[in-house]
Structure 1
Amino acid sequence: MNFDLTEERQMLQDSLRRFLRDRYTTPVRNEILESDSGMSAKIWEELAELGVIGALFTEEQGGFGGAGFDIAVVFEELGRAGVVEPFLDTAVLGGGLIAALGNDDQQAHVEEVIGGALHLAFAHGEPASRYDLNRVETTAKADGDSIVLNGRKAVVVNAEAAGMLVVSARESGDAYDTDGISLFLVPADAKGVSMQGYALLAGGRAAEVTLDDVTVPASARLGDAGKAFDAIEERVAAANVAICAETLGAMETATHLTREYLGTRKQFGRPIGSFQALAHRMSDLLIEMEQARSSVILAAGHLADDRKSRESNVSAAKNLMGRTGRLVAEDSIQMHGGIAMTQEYELAHIAKRIVMADHRLGDTDHHLERFIALSAA
């Protein structure tokens, strides 16, 4: 089987890698991390012009990609450079849900997203939900031609920069029912929406969002009432493929930096990479990297499959990437020594992103349990 990229994807990878190598240096990223916004509006605009966001949507949605391998190509390069801008939240999650469920008027927001003019945030997780996508306690009550939303959303990434929130709320059923969950487009500055923002350890910003009698028209609902769960699960699967690919790119950078360091740092008159113990550890990392790459390819290739196949492959990949990522991050730091912990050195940020990626949308334990349950079904 041929796993080489198509000509179009190869061109996308080359142009994105070249742009990020020239523009997204460690000092530039450190300035972004220290800024109040936690992102660069200029770089976001430039990457949108480059077509990076468009590659995450299908032609029917106004883009030119949207398949699993398109997502993987983009996010591997973003991970390789340690990019902190919110492509996952605005495009894959928020924009993807609008594209999947929105009517003609709502679809116009997708064009704004692709052009870089609109930021989105997916307000789904709640203080008690952990990784369970079906646990939604935020309520949506009909009031004439309007819907009134009440509840709390936790760790809503990119909420402060978003022009609109894609909010999940329950119109019927109990807290764990998959039926009864709806999605609503809510302006971030709507009356009753309050946010408490904070910086994330691996870069970017998130917020705790409170919805206090937030009133939106019934036309703000995405798709049919109470039928949003399947779309949420499908988009989260795509987001997990993106996270796995991003982690893979970050791991490539970590191993590259480590190999360079072992070849230049000297003890007893020779590079420390020539010492057998360190050479064996480096070899083990490279072997683990190949297995990780295979899992990303497998998950991306099955993203358009039926639910059981899609979710099983995604959970298997997320579990493997979490375990391998921790190994790569820890061993890279240990083989570098103290320099790896300094913010001015590239590996410090990369290692944080690798480790924290495991905790986004399900950690290794969650996805192992999920894979077992799906296999038994």
Structure 2
Amino acid sequence: MDFALTDEQRMLDETLTRLVADKVSFEQRRHMRNDSKAGADNALWQTFAELGLLHMPFSESVGGLNGDGTDLMIILQALGRGLVPQPYLFGLVLPGQLLALTASAEQQTRWLDPLLGGEHQLALAWQEVAARNDAKGITTTARRENDHWRLTGQKTLVMNLESAAATLITAKLDSGKLGLFVVPAASAGASGFDYRTMDEQSAGDLTLQDVELSNDHCLSENVEGALDEVLAIGRAGLCAQALGAMESACDQTLSYLKERKQFGQTLASFQTLSHRMVDMHLHLEQSRSMTILAATSLSLSCEERDYRIAAAKAYCGESARFIAEQAIQLHGAMGMTDECPIASVARHLVMFDHYLGDTDFHLETVSDRLDAA
């Protein structure tokens, strides 16, 4: 099969590569993470809006540019390569795609249009202590009372919670089905505990205590199919983001081996270290193939899509950890310091395996499919 990019996709890749190189250096990234202007007010996010990147992954029917899985892969790979701290996947793609699939025209005008225009960011809260990898164990409840709803429960690892103008929340209904609600920031009864993940991404835990919402804040009373579709998009996107970070880790490590000298010779001249570098590139190229598989599987049937994406996420998770460990080893002790750029890349690669299901969870999905066959 021909996996070559189209002329438009190559232009997108080149534009993003230049943008990231110009706007997101190691020192600039540090400043962004400590910037008091978070969320949609950030200058880089507004640049994304001006370039049409916020519209790219959405269909034309909701005002997007009709980008496919390959377009999303190109964007997230470039952002992952530069460890761009903006929550493109968690603050835009995941909540935005759920809105596109479930919201009415009026709800899209209220929440989706400003999202694509760069006016605000959103968050998606679906994980819980008993539902870390899928939605089967969700215990947050929503009950209807006349002309409003009441939500009670607790969500964990809500990415981009601090900067979100509103959070999309999954909750069990009295009917036993899974509902989806949009809860504006600072709603009465909703309290968040914000923190940074190991790779310095913004996250938080959200507690809901009798949060009262009007009927127009209910996006769907049966969201399971749409949620599965969006999580598949998220997992494929994470693979692309990790692929970019793996490329960065390999490039940084190779440059270090070529420059660093030991006993009067560069480290790259030692055969054992060269073999390690080759192993890193083998994992990188195999992960590239699996990422392409995931990106091109989003339009398949649910069963085939989930099987392929689970295989890609599992393999990329193992490769990401391997490359992170080898990069740190080859850099030596300095690779563990915060002043060394490879440390940030390694933390991101290790954490990649914990977002939207870890390797063990996805291997179980693959195993179940093979057993059924």
Pick the TM interval, shorter chain: over 0.9
Return the letter of the residue paired with 2:267.
I
Whole-angstrom CA distance in 2 between matches of 1:33 and 1:135: 33
Contact 1:131 1:361 in 2 (8 A): yes
Whole-angstrom CA distance in 1 between matches of 2:21 and 2:298: 29
> How big is the shift at 1:193?
1.0
User: RMSD of the alignment, in Å?
Assistant: 1.5
Whether 1:203 aligns to 2:203 is: no
Whole-angstrom CA distance in 2 between matches of 1:38 and 1:248: 26
Return the letter of the residue paired with 1:361.
L
Whether 1:232 aligns to 2:240 is: no
Deviations 1:137-160 (A, max 9, x none): 111111101111111111111111
Partner residue, 1:176: none
Deviations 1:44-77 (A, max 9, x none): 1112212222112122221213321111111000
TM-score of the two chains, using structure 1 as the length reference: 0.95
Whole-angstrom CA distance in 2 between matches of 1:37 and 1:341: 29
DSSP 3-state at the match of 2:59? coil
Deviations 1:252-300 (A, max 9, x none): 0000001111111112222110111011111111111111000000111
Whole-angstrom CA distance in 1 between matches of 2:97 and 2:53: 14
Whole-angstrom CA distance in 1 between matches of 2:260 and 2:244: 24
Contact 1:90 1:113 in 2 (8 A): no
> How big is the shift at 1:324?
0.5
Contact 1:75 1:245 in 2 (8 A): yes
Contact 1:37 1:161 in 2 (8 A): no
Q: Residues 338 and 263 (structure 1 numbering): CA distance in 2 closer, same or farther, change over 3 Å? A: same
Whether 1:113 aligns to 2:115 is: yes
Contact 2:199 2:351 in 1 (8 A): yes
Partner residue, 2:54: 53
Contact 2:95 2:124 in 1 (8 A): yes
Partner residue, 1:182: 179
Contact 1:38 1:205 in 2 (8 A): no
TM-score of the two chains, using structure 2 as the length reference: 0.96
> How big is the shift at 1:315?
0.3
Whole-angstrom CA distance in 2 between matches of 1:33 and 1:217: 35
Whole-angstrom CA distance in 2 between matches of 1:37 and 1:241: 29
> How big is the shift at 1:129?
1.6
Partner residue, 1:319: 314
Whole-angstrom CA distance in 2 between matches of 1:86 and 1:360: 13
Deviations 1:164-195 (A, max 9, x none): 1101011136xxxxx60010111112111111
Whole-angstrom CA distance in 2 between matches of 1:288 and 1:14: 24
Contact 2:91 2:159 in 1 (8 A): no
Return the letter of the residue paired with 1:194.
S
Return the letter of the residue paired with 1:167.
I
Structure 2, unaligned stretches of length 5 or more? none
DSSP 3-state at the match of 2:157? strand
Whole-angstrom CA distance in 2 between matches of 1:293 and 1:314: 13
DSSP 3-state at the match of 1:337? helix
Whole-angstrom CA distance in 2 between matches of 1:232 and 1:17: 31
Contact 1:240 1:314 in 2 (8 A): yes
> How big is the shift at 1:35?
4.2
Contact 2:143 2:174 in 1 (8 A): no
Q: 1:195-344 to 2 correspondence within 5 Å?
A: 195-223=192-220, 225=221, 227-344=222-339
Whole-angstrom CA distance in 2 between matches of 1:231 and 1:367: 19
Partner residue, 1:82: 83
Whole-angstrom CA distance in 2 between matches of 1:114 and 1:262: 43
Alignment match of 2:165 (pick from 163, 166, 184) = 163
DSSP 3-state at the match of 1:216? strand
> How big is the shift at 1:32?
2.5
Whole-angstrom CA distance in 2 between matches of 1:195 and 1:101: 25
Whole-angstrom CA distance in 2 between matches of 1:192 and 1:49: 36
Structure 1, unaligned stretches of length 5 or more? 174-178
Partner residue, 1:28: 28
Return the letter of the residue paired with 1:314.
I
Contact 1:192 1:212 in 2 (8 A): yes
Return the letter of the residue paired with 1:313.
R
Whole-angstrom CA distance in 1 between matches of 2:135 and 2:174: 16
Partner residue, 2:152: 150
Worse-superposed segment, 236-245 or 110-119? 110-119
Q: Residues 147 and 203 (structure 1 numbering): CA distance in 2 closer, same or farther, change over 3 Å? A: same
Whole-angstrom CA distance in 2 between matches of 1:142 and 1:126: 22
Percent identity for Structure 1 against Structure 2: 37
Contact 2:258 2:268 in 1 (8 A): yes
